[in-house]
Amino acid sequence: MVKKERAILVGVYLSKDSPYKTDYSLEELNRLADTAEAEVQLVFTQQRNHIDSTWFIGKGKVEELANLVQELEIDIVIFNGVLSPSQKRNIENAVQCKVIDRTQLILDIFAMRAKSKEGKLQVELAQYNYLLPRLSGKGLSLSRLGGGIGTRGPGETKLETDRRHIRERIWEVKKSLKDVERHRKLYRSRRKKVDIPQVVFVGYTNAGKSTLLNQLAHADVLAENRLFATLDPTSRKVLLPRGKEVILTDTVGFIQYLPHELVAAFKSTLEEAKEATIILHVIDSNHMYREEQIKVVEQLLKEIDAHTIPRFNVYNKSDLLVGDIPNITDTDILISAYKQDDLQRLLLLIEKELMKEWDTYIFQIPAEKGDVLSYLYNHGKIVQDKKWLEEQQIWEITVELAQKHLKEEIKTYTI
């Protein structure tokens, strides 16, 4: 069994921020550290008007931190913010142990969790973009000899190389990602041709998206009570109550202060949300900072230009909910992923939204117009199968069809 690294978390309470926001952020950092297999010994905080440009926290607090590192035999100090290269170097020289920031911790977790070729490439690109400006000031946390948290992924083999080699590798990774993106676009275009609606789960990490996909589609996506349990998007076909097929897609979870390197690197993955017919925003209904999490997801949906797609709030974990949810609307639904009745209500909600653009038509089609029949079978839902009318020498068929598929030529055969 690998020995866990002993960690101290460091946070700053800024006068401009509300205390609960900082508390929430530090609680989240604690869970991120746990996900990265660190053993948190202490949460070290300071109240300030602004971040110190040299030390992040005050110089006196750095000296106090250095004493605690020695006393508690700490392996790593994790700051709840973004450290500049000079800040990191100064702090490491003072405390004499590895120092990383929130961004590097999240990147490290992504390096642990990525399984697909695309996911690994995206994480590698994000780590290089993070490390490139920090090469001149590399310290203990960028040492190949250090190992452990903050050095996973490309960090273990590439940190000693110069900027030119790093830039060359960034170019290679971007080229590989473009190839992956081309394949993804081809897959999407094929999916559009068969006209299967796509329902995409988005939400804060650990809101229960993967569990929901597993329950609805009988999938086997990893779902555990840790942040970023799954990174790679997973899609499964599911039948709605009236027999229509949809594709359900689980995406990477969002988080407060998601590093810009990751938003950029995971652009092609997040494109799944942009291509959705419906977005289901999965929310942990029982989380004490539920409203903050909702705002983070909504902001990130705006950043990737997916905020105009029809969206429903799915308040999950109702079995754990204490109290009520204020201001819940008709477009929201409260469920537990483990209750079959709730899952059925969710599928009915999806179906109801999809059927807004659909109407039922009766078509009478001449025998020689087999292409029209084929079109209706491919693009509509058959309500009553074709029946041969001997006198008129035509086929009669009743079909539910989306308005966008009711082309002028097809419309001529309606009665």
CA dist list (Å): 22 to 225, 226, 255 = 22, 20, 14
**Which one-letter amino acid corresponds to residue 161?**
T
Over residues 25-49, the mean pLDDT reads: 91
Averaged confidence pLDDT in the chain: 83
Which of 120-129, 267-276, 297-306, 389-398 shows the lowest mean pLDDT across its residues? Answer: 267-276
pLDDT score of 112: 82
Percentage of the residues of the chain whose pLDDT score is greater than 70: 84
Which of 161-165, 235-239, 369-373 shows the lowest mean pLDDT across its residues? Answer: 161-165
Nearest one of 43, 22, 11 to 292, comparing CA atoms: 22
| pLDDT band at residue 263 under the 50/70/90 scheme | confident
CB 66 within 8 Å of CB 95: yes
* Beta pairing partners, 366: 394
Positive or negative torsion for Cα 335, 336, 337, 339: negative
Over residues 71-90, the mean pLDDT reads: 92
| pLDDT band at residue 232 under the 50/70/90 scheme | low
pLDDT score of 130: 84
Q: How many helices (H) and strands (E) does the chain have?
A: 14, 13
pLDDT score of 141: 45
CB 110 within 8 Å of CB 228: yes
pLDDT score of 206: 83
**Domains of the chain and CATH, by start:** 5-158 (3.40.50.11060), 196-338 (3.40.50.300), 357-411 (3.30.70.240)
Cα 189–chain centre separation: 22
Positive or negative torsion for Cα 379, 382, 385, 388: negative
pLDDT score of 350: 92
Residue 412 corresponds to which tokens in the numbers above?
Answer: 């001529």
Nearest one of 291, 121, 301, 286 to 201, comparing CA atoms: 301
Q: What are 85-124's pLDDT values in tens digits?
A: 899 999 999 999 999 999 899 888 888 877 778 778 888 8
Q: What are 186-210's pLDDT values in tens digits?
A: 776 666 666 688 899 988 888 888 8
pLDDT score of 136: 57
Burial of residue 3 (CB within 10 Å: 0-12, 13-18, 19+) is exposed
Measure the CA–CA gap between 408 and 410, rounded to whole angstroms: 5
pLDDT score of 244: 81
Question: Does 57 or 228 have the greater pLDDT score?
Answer: 57
Residue 22 corresponds to which tokens in the numbers above?
Answer: 């900082």
Q: What are 129-185's pLDDT values in tens digits?
A: 888 877 654 544 444 444 666 666 555 444 455 677 888 888 998 898 888 778 777
CA dihedral 224, 226, 227, 229 (to 10 degrees): -30
pLDDT at 25 over 80: yes
pLDDT score of 131: 80
Measure the CA–CA gap between 31 and 224, rounded to whole angstroms: 13
DSSP string, 397-412: EEEEEEGGG--HHHHT
Residue 55 corresponds to which tokens in the numbers above?
Answer: 């030390």
Decide: pTM greater than 0.85: no
